Amino acid sequence: MSGDEPIGEVQQAAVGAVATVPPGEGPVLDVIGVSKVFGGLVAVNDVDFVVPRKAIVSLIGPNGAGKTTFFNCLTGLYRPTTGRVIFDGRDITAKRPDVVTSAGIARTFQNIKLFRTMTAVENVQVGMHPRLRSRVTGMILRTPFVRREEKNSRERARELLDFVGLKRKDELAMNLPYGDQRRLEIARALGSEPRLLLLDEPTAGMNPQESEQLRALMDRLRTERDMSILLIEHDMKVVMNVSDHITVLDHGEKIAEGSPTEVRQNPRVIEAYLGSQA
């Protein structure tokens, strides 16, 4: 598990019709009453949350609002204290991170987590691992099937790097400029062929031009690859321009949700978040 203390069993909230919605229909992600408690601290408090198909949904809120903890509850890094996580009609509550990835959710991290001494292509190939069919014995014996799959995965990795706009594909990850490392993280996440992509502050440390390129990339992921995106982001320009829907957390609670226009005008949001920025 994640290193946080065990909290007890996940309470089985009522799922009603949600769990019976067949894959491919209904929202891609349906989160029901998720809470996460660390000792006495309620980091996420009974949050309901939906990501419709092919939507870009942003999760915003002041520092410490519980956004990353919420992500960690979705991706199996944390076991939620209460609540259910339904992905594409399937209950993935408290499943291991590799199971969640295989189910079709990929993520990037607030602090970039690349294999620093591997090339960009190799990093993306690692990301493809959940979708590869080679077995360990085949890898040791270097069977024709393994060699063919490796070649295909190298070509596919290069395509994904093209898609995210990364030119220095054979460069070691640690030698890439910061913006390219962020792009590489996204390409690696795409390697597992997710239907839902979770991005944790992808524009952190980027200049305005790079942020705009990333916004355009998110748009293309949705329109060209039918992907749904859940975004944690502090750059309000990016959030307001790219999101179909925004949810606002404050002290672990959902205090508002709606379209960018609705959220921008919500007095609780202005007070809790936009106000504090101003």
Interface residues with ligand ATP (CB under 6 A)? 4, 38, 41, 43, 61, 63-69, 110
Minimum Å gap between C-beta 259 and ligand ATP is: 22
Q: Which residues have C-beta within 8 Å of that of residue 82, sequence separation ≥ 6? A: 10, 11, 13, 33, 34, 35, 46
Q: Would you say 171 or 253 has its CB closer to ligand ATP?
A: 253
Minimum Å gap between C-beta 110 and ligand ATP is: 6
The candidate with the shortest Cα–Cα distance to 32, out of 254, 222, 206, 227, is 254
Q: How many Cβ atoms sit within 10 Å of the Cβ of residue 19?
A: 14
Minimum Å gap between C-beta 66 and ligand ATP is: 4
Minimum Å gap between C-beta 243 and ligand ATP is: 17
Minimum Å gap between C-beta 60 and ligand ATP is: 9
Q: Would you say 47 or 157 has its CB closer to ligand ATP?
A: 47
Minimum Å gap between C-beta 146 and ligand ATP is: 39
Q: Would you say 68 or 203 has its CB closer to ligand ATP?
A: 68
Q: Would you say 7 or 13 has its CB closer to ligand ATP?
A: 7
CA atoms of 61 and 68, how far apart (whole Å): 11
Cα 36 to Cα 27, 76, 158, 201, 247: the distances in Å are 23, 12, 39, 21, 17
Note whether 152 and 186 are within 8 A (CB). no
Q: Would you say 68 or 228 has its CB closer to ligand ATP?
A: 68
Q: Would you say 34 or 187 has its CB closer to ligand ATP?
A: 34
Handedness of CA 232, 233, 238, 241 (dihedral sign): positive
Minimum Å gap between C-beta 230 and ligand ATP is: 13
The candidate with the shortest Cα–Cα distance to 127, out of 173, 191, 63, 56, is 191
CA atoms of 239 and 143, how far apart (whole Å): 47
Q: Would you say 110 or 213 has its CB closer to ligand ATP?
A: 110
